[in-house]
Amino acid sequence: MIILAIIALLLLAALGAPLYAIIGAVALLGFHLAGQEGVAVAVEFYRLADMPALIAIPLFTLAGYLLAESRAPQRLVRLTNALLGWLPGGLAVVAVLACAMFTAFTGATGVTIVALGAVLYPALLEQKYGERFSLGLLTSAGSLGLILVPSMPLILYGVVAQQFHTTPPVTIDDLFLAGVLPCALMVVMLSVYSIWHARRVGVVREKVSAAELRGALREAAWDLPLPFVILGGIYSGKLAASEAAAATALYVFIVTVLIRREIPWRKLPLVAREAMLLVGALLLILGFSLALTNWLIDAEVPEQLFTAIQTHIASRGAFLLILNVFLLVFGMLLEGFPAIILLVPLVLPVALRYGIDPVHLGILFLANLQLGIFLPPVGMNLFIASMRFGKPVLTLVRASAPFFLILLIAVLIITYWPGLSLALIR
């Protein structure tokens, strides 16, 4: 009976059944085998309402969708170009920074490639950066920002990790602080490579006039306070993550709908609907995942997994190396949200036994996922970039190779230098 149920679940997964249905079925089967009622799964959905940090997800999601539908991407590119365009390789540095910031706000790397690619790709070609470099830069930089405030994957990792009541505890505010320096490392490394490439191919420095800078500042006048609302509020301790999310959503709504009127009232329900469809799917998966997590803990699956791993991997360094490979593979196969929900309950308890700080684990976890998302052969961003730029996937794989190696070095630094993630919080 049990074997038939497992075979049926595997068959349904292979046929493309919804992820939440598979997770829910596994949780129900697990509780049934443990002799518990299926109501234990329903209880987890009730518990979602008692998680204060969870309210940040729909609010930041709505703010991100509103920004994506407005002209904020174009204003962001213009402003960063006016500030940094005079540097050698200035436009490429602008692309890295703009992608990182936009991905942090939207929480979706594919949206960044679609929204900013239309602006940055022709500009990079016009300045003679070369097609291969331009494609690789935008495909890889599109995943930056997943570890930068107010990234939704960071919030989701925090929500899942809090179920384990770790010591030290995992808070959303700590995760937001922990992602700053690792994200800065990735941005700096890509920027240095971009400057080197610009000098090698002889890209002419762009002349940015004072008038252009004033115009860009004036155009972005309503957008500039937004980072200070989020960063200043959270990092100063005056706003919790949920309060910062509410302030962000309200501010973006006022600017995009009421002041700039870039999103008409008749379109607002459609934008909100798309945002809440994502949130609803996420909460559905999360509720079933928490039930599955509780069953895993009750069945002592993490302890058994740790015992099995420890017989082959004794040192913490070797475990971290294997963990990186494991996360890269799953980051390639799964999108960020399902990967977090499915893998954190298995990985976190084992990592704690090896003495890994849970906040540091969250940063290296997401750093690997954002690298795997454009890892061939099936990284999702490769296909999104292929559709956006009209290029074959193999062309994008070759173009992204040097950027992948640079970010891989950054991920290894983040992995084996926990102080980089923990310097601002411990």
pLDDT digits (tens, 9 = 90+) for 362-378: 999 999 988 888 777 66
Give the pLDDT confidence score for residue 94 in this predicted structure: 83
**Domain ranges, ordered by start, for the chain:** 1-37, 52-422
| pLDDT band for position 235 (cuts 50, 70, 90) | confident
Distance CA 153, CA 275 (A): 15
- The stretches of 49-108 forming alpha helices (DSSP H) are 56-69, 72-84, 90-106
| pLDDT band for position 86 (cuts 50, 70, 90) | confident
Distance CA 137, CA 124 (A): 10
| pLDDT band for position 46 (cuts 50, 70, 90) | confident
| pLDDT band for position 19 (cuts 50, 70, 90) | low
Give the pLDDT confidence score for residue 421 in this predicted structure: 92
What one-letter code names the amino acid at 317?
G
Other C-beta atoms closer than 10 Å to the C-beta of 255 total 22
Give the pLDDT confidence score for residue 188 in this predicted structure: 93
C-alpha closest to that of 410 among 195, 192, 185: 185
- Taking CA atoms, 229 is separated from 65, 104, 172, 245, 287, in Å, by 18, 14, 16, 10, 30
Residue appearing with tokens 């939440």: 20
| pLDDT band for position 15 (cuts 50, 70, 90) | low
Give residue-wise pLDDT tens across range 138-153. Answer: 888 888 888 888 888 8
pLDDT at 414 over 90: yes
Classify each residue of 150-189 as buried b or exposed e, where b means 16 or more C-beta atoms within 10 Å of its C-beta. Answer: bbbbbbbbbbbbbbbebeeebbbbbbbbbbbbbbebbbeb
What are 65's two structure tokens? Answer: 């969708």
Give the pLDDT confidence score for residue 127 in this predicted structure: 81
What are 84's two structure tokens? Answer: 């940094």
Cβ distance 422 to 363 under 8 Å?
no
Segment 231-248 shows an average pLDDT of: 78
Q: What is the dihedral of CA 200, 203, 209, 211, to 10 degrees?
A: -120
Average pLDDT, the chain: 82
Segment 283-302 shows an average pLDDT of: 75
pLDDT at 214 over 70: yes
Burial classification of residue 237, based on how many CB atoms lie within 10 Å of its CB (0-12 exposed, 13-18 middle, 19 or more buried): exposed
C-alpha closest to that of 389 among 34, 142, 104, 35: 142
Give residue-wise pLDDT tens across range 104-137. Answer: 877 666 677 777 777 788 888 888 888 899 899 9
pLDDT at 8 over 80: no
pLDDT at 155 over 90: no
Give the pLDDT confidence score for residue 410 in this predicted structure: 94
pLDDT at 307 over 70: yes
pLDDT at 219 over 80: yes
User: Is the whole model's pTM more than 0.85, yes or no?
Assistant: no
| pLDDT band for position 176 (cuts 50, 70, 90) | confident
Cβ distance 105 to 65 under 8 Å?
no
Segment 327-337 shows an average pLDDT of: 75
Give the pLDDT confidence score for residue 419 in this predicted structure: 92
Q: Give the residue with greater pLDDT, 103 vs 410.
A: 410
pLDDT at 14 over 70: no
Give the pLDDT confidence score for residue 293 in this predicted structure: 75
Give the pLDDT confidence score for residue 2 in this predicted structure: 62
Segment 247-276 shows an average pLDDT of: 89
pLDDT at 277 over 80: yes
